[in-house]
Amino acid sequence: MSAHATPVSSSPRSGGTDDPALLGRIENTIRFLAVDAVERAGIGHVGAAMALAAAAFELWDNHLRFDPQDPEWPLRDRFILSNGHASLLQYSLLHLFGFDLSLEDIGRFRQLGSRTPGHPEYGDTAGVELTTGPLGQGIAHAVGMALAGRMTGSQFGGGAIEGAGRDRPGQHFVYGIVGDGCLMEGVSSEAASFAGSHSLGNLIFIYDDNAITIDGGTEITFSESVPKRFDAYGWHVVDAVDGQDRTALAEALEAGRRETGRPTLIILKTLIGRGAPNFEGRNKAHGGPLGEDETKLAKSGLGWPTEGDLIVPDDVREYCVGRGAAKHAERVAADARLETWRVANAEAAAAWDTARTRSMPTDLTDKLVEGLDGAKNATRKHSATVLERLAEYVPYMAGGSADLAGSAAPPIVKSAGVVGPGAGEGIDPFAGRNIHFGVREHAMGSIANGIALDGTFLAYCGTFMIFSDYMRPAIRLAALQKAQTLFVFTHDSIFVGEDGPTHQPVEQLDSLRVIPGLTVFRPADGVETAMAYAYYLQAAQGSDRCASGPILLSLTRQGLPGLERPESFEPTDVWKGAYIVSNPDGKADVVLLATGSEVSLAVGAAEELARDGLKSRVVSMPSVELFLEQSEADQDAILPDDGTPIVAIEAGRGETLRRFVGRRGLVIGMESFGASAPYEALANHFGFTASKVAKRVKAHV
């Protein structure tokens, strides 16, 4: 144990067996389920599962709180396998403890439609808390889950009564396993720094320190002291625990639970590919099957049957089924104590239920839109107005920005309090809902996803649109998991102005629109901004009219006029993805299709064209994705398919709008990066003025 580690003392296991022979068979069951499944698939990762079998079973058997009959039980501990390539380790544990995952499922590892994909995927497999695989993302998401737990405990789980203990909201732990690859990725550094600075004592991770990477030993590229690094982040570090010493690991986990003011990292020394004589301790154990000969050598060396595969001995099955039943019984008893807490703390319990069920005022949409029709402002400032209203109407929304709250990206919600060290002296650091993520965009998106997946708070986060590039893995994972995360990006075009091309998005909006399952809004004024938020909240409630999954807002830095719309307009028309802003008398000669800040520009261009005798229809398209979900008839009613020229206008590349104008159609967008100048000068230089747009439209028509 290192000099900086906290000493640990022995503690009894929570009902598990101490029979070394049985524990050895269980360990080998986990080990060879992984080996056999990879052999069947012909591809996969066996090394980490073979190394971690003993440690992972100790964690699940004696420390992790869960109910295999109800994987979504709110009081459960969370388990995150950050090194998701070791997925068979988790699948084996889920199967043995009685989750809805059969031996046949394990036998179909990595096959089309199976519930055992190559990396754990949230929603595919009961008991998998989040999708892991992209290294570093698991531990970063886990930080968000731990933060959500602390905030839940503070805001909804107070008023503890004698004997309630952990049996009230937010008292769970977030456990995980992380490998070298995760700790090399930059996102884990950002997340670990955040966890330490925010004192997340409910976060306990085991670091699989096997000193091996795919290309060789870690010494070829990864030489820092991980214990010292995490000590510097403000973590409680327990160093040099033998991966086969269950008692030492149990003591380390108990020490982590006692350390309520700091997250814990347990340095677990393991042997990759343990039991395979020609693979163990070598980089070739990381990936791929052992092969028939090495599999037989490993099985015979550990006293395992060499004939047949996917073997679960009867005594192993009996023990694990019994432990799964015991976990369920513990859950029943915990729920009884929770009910006692509910009676004694009716107000807190009702507030928690409101958050978990996503209850909202029935007239919320009207409340959000009120006073914004015709209002002139930047859409980032309209967003700030809406967020202030939501602090009252939806008090379980939580989020913040990457050190850009002063730029309304998104802003501090004045009535909601601050999370973490910024809360102020003597103030509960988890009683607020404004999160200062710091300059950590990579981790911010992942932490927000973790908050959303925890299930109590609705999470939002934001920064300048250009820095969405840093967040792309988290945005993609949000879409993959259908997480209800709201991404709020401001400064969304070249009209950022003087900061220049490094800060001016050009290609970002197009690249975000092509992520499957992500709904992007680029609102043109306050009404569209409010309705984008309303859509997000409807989706969070599970409304049939709204797609599940993350929502992204693309908001302006510069002020915009409020649009004048026809009397027939209803605010929910925004949810159709596109609608008519203005129509000429008689058939239009051209349709001007625009998004965001360019809608008012299109209105101005239409007025110029009218003076030259050209009739224009102006269409606002706040969401390409939602428009494409409409029927062909509804699409044709907005963008006619009768030969009328359609011109798309967007102060970015605009390539995702090209499908609407046709191969020979005109997209007035950016063909280069921007430049450093006041935004009015940029508009003139790049052709985004009413007169210059009208000139190009006339030439095209």
Which residues are catalytic, by number?
441
Neighbours of 350 (CB within 10 A): 13
* Cα–Cα distance measured from residue 701 to residue 698, given in angstroms and rounded to the nearest whole number: 5
C-alpha distances in Å from residue 144, one per residue of 299, 471, 576, 612: 40, 15, 33, 57
* Cα–Cα distance measured from residue 197 to residue 479, given in angstroms and rounded to the nearest whole number: 28
Judged on CB neighbours under 10 Å (0-12, 13-18, 19+), 335 is: middle
Looking at 455-558, list the stretches that DSSP marks H as alpha helix, in order from N- to C-terminal side: 472-481, 508-513, 526-540
CA-wise closest residue to 602 among 564, 630, 658: 564
* Cα–Cα distance measured from residue 202 to residue 147, given in angstroms and rounded to the nearest whole number: 8
- What is the residue whose two structure tokens read 């550990």? 302
Judged on CB neighbours under 10 Å (0-12, 13-18, 19+), 645 is: middle
- Report CA 357 to chain centroid distance, whole Å: 20
- Report CA 316 to chain centroid distance, whole Å: 36
Four-point Cα dihedral 48, 49, 53, 57, nearest 10: 110
Measured on CA atoms in the order 614, 617, 618, 621, is the torsion positive or negative? Answer: negative
- Six-digit token pair at 233? 């982040």
Is residue 205 classed as helix, strand or coil in its secondary structure?
strand
CA-wise closest residue to 90 among 58, 116, 69: 116
CA-wise closest residue to 302 among 68, 27, 36: 27
Give the bridge partners for 267, in sequence order.
Answer: 207
- Six-digit token pair at 186? 């930059």
Q: Phi and psi for 333 in degrees, rounded to 5? A: -65, -40
561, 525 Cβ separation under 8 angstroms: yes
Q: Phi and psi for 397 in degrees, rounded to 5? A: -90, 135
Cα 672–Cα 676–Cα 677 angle in degrees, nearest 5: 115
- Six-digit token pair at 133? 């695989």
* Cα–Cα distance measured from residue 59 to residue 70, given in angstroms and rounded to the nearest whole number: 19
* Cα–Cα distance measured from residue 447 to residue 134, given in angstroms and rounded to the nearest whole number: 15
Q: Got the DSSP string for 582-636?
A: E--SSS-SEEEEE-TTHHHHHHHHHHHHHHTT--EEEEE-S-HHHHHTS-HHHHH
